[in-house]
Amino acid sequence: MTSAALSRSEAAELDARDELAGYRDRFDIRDPDRIYFDGNSLGMPSVAVRDAVTAGTDAWARQLVGGWEDWIDLPRRVGDRLARACLGAQPGEVLIADSTTVNLYKLAHAALNVRAGAVVTDAGNFPTDRYILAGVAEARGRRYVEVDDPSDAVTVPDAALVCLSLVDYRSGARLDAAALTPRTAGLVIWDLSHAVGAIPVDLAPLDLAIGCTYKYLNAGPGAPAFLYVRGALVSSLHSPIRGWFGQRDQFAMGPAYQPASGIERFAAGTPPILGIAAVDAAVRIVEEAGIRRIAAKGAALTDHAIALADAWLDPLGFVLASPRAAAERGSHISLRHPDALRIDRALIERANVVPDFRQPDVLRIGLSPLTTRFVDVWDGLDRLRRLVERGDHAVGGSTDVRVT
Amino acid sequence: MTSAALSRSEAAELDARDELAGYRDRFDIRDPDRIYFDGNSLGMPSVAVRDAVTAGTDAWARQLVGGWEDWIDLPRRVGDRLARACLGAQPGEVLIADSTTVNLYKLAHAALNVRAGAVVTDAGNFPTDRYILAGVAEARGRRYVEVDDPSDAVTVPDAALVCLSLVDYRSGARLDAAALTPRTAGLVIWDLSHAVGAIPVDLAPLDLAIGCTYKYLNAGPGAPAFLYVRGALVSSLHSPIRGWFGQRDQFAMGPAYQPASGIERFAAGTPPILGIAAVDAAVRIVEEAGIRRIAAKGAALTDHAIALADAWLDPLGFVLASPRAAAERGSHISLRHPDALRIDRALIERANVVPDFRQPDVLRIGLSPLTTRFVDVWDGLDRLRRLVERGDHAVGGSTDVRVT
């Protein structure tokens, strides 16, 4: 339910009472005037992540190759921490590895080894998911199906594999994973990229998941991703990429590949240690702040943004393209506007507000709970309102499109 | 040709005349007494690499998502630098991406799309190469062949794909790529992991290559790897991992995958920016020092080590397992000894010398030219000689095996 629009002093009052307010001070914020609404693309660096990378290079200098005695199980240790902090998964079910794209590729092939039938996703799923799934389906000679409504994916009768984003990258709409999963005979891979670190995820009843760490987890541009395999399934699934870090008794360097018994079987090459150290530090902050408190603040921030959008932006031609009920959203909202691209560029270049544009007409407002204040929402949307009221976005400016 | 064993003062004299001697001071060396013979597993951190990682986190803090305007083509820009510095490749032929393992997987599938026949490697090739190739062959329904002598791989008549390491990870033996390549109808993927940054590689006449950056390039534990595709082949080869960073017009986020026209088609997920920044700084040092000077010093260091091994270690039961001609080696030598594992552990734990052990009986002595002095070779092998003479390695100590 959406509340009435707050005044700026009421927003400031919410900040004063916010239990998580102090976390913002633990981030390396360079421009206090800049209002950053794009932590759902790339989160901000915390001092702890910066220090962890420095400590990682320091450990490398001190220990040299001996550092591997500690690093060798870092992908699993940090995976366990992430599982505990915000995924509702058990130790040994989550591994930090590769990119989200490569992890999806691995799990998709693994799922098709044990299920006959089609590969199914929704036409609005994130591009890399659709491209990977279509490619894997083609390679494996399976039917590839895109449905319009993600909830319909589980109704495709011959599904071997269903892939859905828990939170939609455009609308921010959240699916009910526990309700959808039992409705298909296929294995479901949940892409948690726009959910992890923003809302609590309960993987316990779910089979497979992937996600990135550079959005709400704030682990840095292109930081290593993660994958989840339900413990009971691990021993029956195999990675198509039979790398030496997935090998049982790796340093025997034996003649033939034999997958490790645990989640490590989904590792491929040498893991990126500095990157995983960054993920570790990033996850510790979420663990400390508590994912339920983070999600509650995210819900309040997005409610606040929707109320202001109703009051200020609806008259200017913006249309809310996100669910109004907080329980049905992640931590970003989307506003459609015919001039969304120009408005996005003008906000960045002339108002020091950084939202995000998505084709064809979507302005995304990401409200990362650990780094966004209630007054930021107020000030950012106020600058947006004034920019569009003046018509400033329609004059000149660039229209290049940037990276999520 | 191997020279006679030098005295320590003669070794010191070589250091005094070494044009590259000053480079060692640009590395972050914590323990001046430690003699590091394992830069061929994990190179040492340079101050420049450490600073590049710090600068990367700083750019992230300053620019946030706007940093992608610069980062988006970093994998190609740094690939171009690596191509120029030490690979003899052209701009647009080398990409920094993923791990060596994942890159081999991508190129192996790509090669099999355009060639009928078997997948061939040698039984002594690095484990991850053998595991990946066997897995790809199985997935594609191709015959998988392991030959004993790597040179015989090119004689397998129905080869679609041959994969060989330019420098063997155990013996250090170097293959003549230009001579072997024309002898097969298959596409050859050269694994450059134990060559890149140590010896000049001339990729111009070669089709495909992969390699890591954490050995002689010193870019850090698990730093991003690279792949090479000869320019004329790029448009005919396709990655099996159809990720959004390999997509033409990526931010149109269109309905179907269309590979980028250039080498970027072999990218998969979001590239690890801090890791690639480290690779950039690491490659700049090699570019500045000059790969030919680096290789000449590597040849002199390994000659020096072989002469000392002949004089001191042969009587103690060590057998040289590397070519005697410098032109036939990389920058490490291997010594076989029945007690190699115990000797390796005792050297590390009691003599502050760090070599490397490889199954079943190989002690590897890696002599990374930018960080190893001639006196280090003398002192390290002197400590080895004295340890084995005293029989210290046979008493207690651990026998765990570490990571390459």
The token pair at B235 is: 């448009």
Compare all CA atoms of chain A with the CA of B66 and give the residue at the minimum distance. Answer: A402
* Token representation of residue B342: 């115990």
A400 CB neighbour count, 10 Å cutoff: 9
Tell me how close the Cα of A259 comes to any Cα of chain B, in angstroms. Answer: 10
Is there a contact between A61 and B44 if contact means CB atoms under 8 Å apart? Answer: yes
pLDDT at B402: 54
Strand-pairing partners, residue A289, are: none
Summarised one tens digit per residue, pLDDT across range B138-183 is: 999 999 999 999 999 999 999 999 999 999 999 999 999 999 999 9
Percent of chain A with pLDDT over 70: 97
pLDDT digits (tens, 9 = 90+) for A73-116: 999 999 999 999 999 999 999 999 999 999 999 999 999 999 99
CA distance B314 to A349: 70
Question: Under 8 Å CB-to-CB from B223, ≥6 apart: which residues?
Answer: A272, B212, B213, B214, B217, B275, B278, B279, B282
CA of B309 vs chain A CAs: smallest distance (Å): 24
Task: Flag if A268 and B99 touch (Cβ within 8 Å).
Answer: yes
ipTM of the complex: 0.96
Question: Are B274 and A274 a contacting pair at CB < 8 A?
Answer: yes
Give residue-wise pLDDT tens across range A168-197: 999 999 999 999 999 999 999 999 999 999
For the segment B249-274, what is each residue's pLDDT rounded down to a tens digit?
A: 888 878 899 999 999 999 999 999 99
Residue in A81, A215, A297, A345 annotated catalytic? A215
The rounded distance, in Å, linking the Cα atoms of A358 and B384 is 62
Instruction: Tell me which of A38, A191, A376, A392 is the catalytic residue.
Output: A191
Residue B285 DSSP one-character state: H
- List chain B residues with CB under 8 Å of A53: 53-54, 57, 274
What pLDDT digit, counting tens, does each position of B42-86 carry?
Answer: 999 999 999 999 999 999 999 999 999 999 999 999 999 999 999
Whether residue B106 lies in the annotated active site: no
User: Of B98, B100, B244, which is closest to A98 when you measure between CB atoms?
Assistant: B98
Residue of chain B nearest A98, judged by CA positions: B98
| A57 vs B: CB within 8 A | yes
Find the angle CA(B287)-CA(B293)-CA(B298) to the nearest 5 degrees.
110
At B149 the pLDDT is 97
pLDDT at residue A357 tops 50 = yes
> Is A135 in contact with B49 (Cβ distance < 8 A)?
no
Mutate to test the interface with A, among B65, B276, B354 (most CBs of A within 10 A): B65
Q: Dihedral sign, CA of A202, A203, A205, A209?
A: positive
pTM, to two decimals: 0.97
H/E stretch holding B300: helix B291-308
The HSE-up count of residue B219 (CA atoms within 13 Å, CB side) is: 34
Rounded distance between C-alpha atoms, residue A263 and residue A266, angstroms? 6
Annotation marks residue A297 as catalytic: no
The percent of residues in chain B predicted with pLDDT above 70, rounded, is: 97
| pLDDT of B399 over the 80 cut | no
Using a CB–CB cutoff of 8 Å, tell me whether A348 touches chain B. yes
- Does A245 lie at the interface with B, CB-CB under 8 angstroms? yes
Chain B nearest-CA distance from A75, in A, is 12
User: A248 in contact with B at a CB cutoff of 8 Å?
Assistant: no
pLDDT, residue A298, reads 98
Quote the pLDDT of residue A1.
42
Structure tokens at A329: 């959203």
Chain A residue numbers touching B132 (CB-CB < 8 A): 241-243
Return the number of other C-beta atoms located less than 10 Å from residue B248's C-beta. Answer: 14
Q: pLDDT class for A250, splitting at 50, 70, 90?
A: confident
Residue B364 bears catalytic tag:
yes
Most B CBs within 10 A among A95, A244, A404, hence the mutation to make, goes to A244
What span, in angstroms and rounded, lies between the C-alpha atoms of A41 and B79?
Answer: 26
Q: What residue in B sits closest to A110 (Cα-Cα)?
A: B139
* Residue B79 touches chain A, beta carbons under 8 Å: no
Q: Collapsing DSSP states into helix, strand and coil, what is residue A266?
A: helix
Q: Is B122 a catalytic residue?
A: no
Query: DSSP secondary-structure letter at B186?
Result: S
Q: For residue B221, what is the nearest residue in chain A, using CA coordinates?
A: A273
Set B76, B106, B170, B215: catalytic member? B215
- Read off the pLDDT of residues B359-375 as tens digits, 9 standing for 90 and up: 899 999 999 999 999 99
User: In this structure, are residues A216 and A39 in contact, taking their beta carbons and an 8 Å threshold?
Assistant: yes
Confidence of residue A3 (pLDDT cuts 50, 70, 90): low
Lowest-confidence region among A134-143, A386-395, B286-295, B309-318? A386-395
Rounded to 10°, the helix A273-289/A47-63 angle is: 140
Strand order in the sheet with B187-191: B94-96, B226-229, B208-211, B187-191, B159-165, B118-122, B144-147
Q: What is the mean pLDDT of chain A?
A: 96
Average pLDDT of the residues of chain B? 96
The Cα of A1 is separated from the nearest Cα of chain B by a number of Å equal to 31
B308-332 pLDDT per residue, tens: 999 999 999 999 999 999 999 999 9
For the record, the structure tokens of B112 come out as 């099999």
DSSP 8-state symbol, B89: -
Quick: pLDDT tens for B339-358.
999 999 999 999 999 999 99
Res A253: pLDDT: 79
Spot the catalytic one: B122, B168, B191, B303: B191
d(CA A51, CA A280): 11
Q: What is the pLDDT of residues B82-108, one digit of tens each?
A: 999 999 999 999 999 999 999 999 999
A-facing residues of B in 99-118 (CB < 8 A) are 99-102, 105
CA angle B241, B242, B244 (to 5 degrees): 125
Between B62, B130, B356, which is nearest A30 by CB? B62
Select the residue of B69, B123, B128 nearest A402 (Cβ to Cβ). Answer: B69
So what's the pLDDT on residue A249? 87
The answer to whether B356 and A65 have CB atoms below 8 angstroms apart is yes
Q: What would the two tokens of residue B68 be? A: 């992608």
